[in-house]
Amino acid sequence: MPRGPRLDAPGVLHHVMVRGIEGRPVFRDDQDRDNFVDRLAALARTGGLTIYAWALLPNHLHLLVRTGVRPLARSMRSLLTGYAGAFNRRHRRAGHLFQNRYRSIVVEEEPYFLELVRYLHLNPVRAKVVADLRALDHYPYTGHAALTGSIPHPWQATSNVLGRFAGNLRRARLRYRAFVAEGISLGRRPELQGGGLVRSLGGWEAVRELRRGRESYTGDERILGSSDFVEEVRQEVEERSRHEVEAHRQCVTVPALAKRIGESLGISPEWVLGRSRVPAAARARQILAYVWVERLGQRASELARVLGQTRGNISLAAKRGEKAARPWRKLFDSWCR
């Protein structure tokens, strides 16, 4: 059966699971784990993801995250590809590190948020990586230690979790830890593995975004929540999304973007789309790549075909274009919305 498209939109909550190929370890030692945590922290600092809970196990990992300024797929590709390359170089191996593509489940905020925070952070206890909750309190490779205050992670969204327990920090930490302790006896939680609804922090408008661009919405095992709400969302999105998708596609074309960028920079669209090495034209193409790939979530390969370049060149240009586009970011973000 072909795999379905991912569900995503700004502000959507996801439970992400990544497994090693053939069940093999993806972390061999603490240096590997520290490398991954550094990369995860970088994503959080740049606004790519808001990270509430995470746990690294020998052959897999779990994340509870909210989509930020970039699509989840782009953030995860950056995270996993970068880590896999570093892992292979360090251990002098070649080939895939992770099994297929990662699994992501869109999560209903209530009642699943805190349940998933607890479930994810108890993974090392269930897997016997640590002996008990006391050891987990000081284990550096989950987000639990940051929530208890044992190991600070300024990039982790601890206040969003602890604020649900109490307004006072000390009291919130005590209540959070008691909540986690109560979860030990619950064991594995198959009911938390997907099955029903989409809900996002941004409400209906963010959910409607699931129909925009190349990511489409369908209700299936990729969703955790009540089936009644799923049906309600499906009907709402189906009724309003068809015209939005077509309008979005017509608006988001390479020539249209080239024209707008050219107007913003005071150069002709032909310069933007051409091969001129004049600094202004090269800068315009970097901005074009950044807006197309990073802000609008379109395929780098499609832009590469239009410009007669490789996909790798477009991806590199998109990274360089982020800085160049800063003065016009609000303008670019308003396009095709």
pLDDT score for 225: 53
pLDDT score for 100: 76
> Which domains does the chain show, CATH number per domain?
13-210 (3.30.70.1290), 254-334 (1.10.1750.10)
Distance CA 106, CA 12 (A): 7
- Mean pLDDT, the chain, rounded, equals 79
pLDDT digits (tens, 9 = 90+) for 257-309: 888 888 877 888 788 888 777 788 888 888 888 888 877 767 788 888 888 88
Distance CA 328, CA 337 (A): 16
pLDDT score for 56: 97
Q: Which residues of 296-305 are buried (b: 16+ CB within 10 A; e: fewer)?
A: bbbebeebbe
pLDDT digits (tens, 9 = 90+) for 15-63: 899 999 988 999 999 999 999 999 999 989 988 899 999 999 999 999 9
Distance CA 175, CA 179 (A): 6
Q: Which range is most confident: 164-168, 186-190, 207-211?
A: 164-168
- Number of C-beta neighbours around residue 242 at 10 A: 11
Residue 13 confidence (pLDDT) above 50: yes
Distance CA 68, CA 70 (A): 6
Q: The sheet that has 223-224: what strands, in order across it?
A: 49-56, 60-67, 13-19, 103-107, 223-224
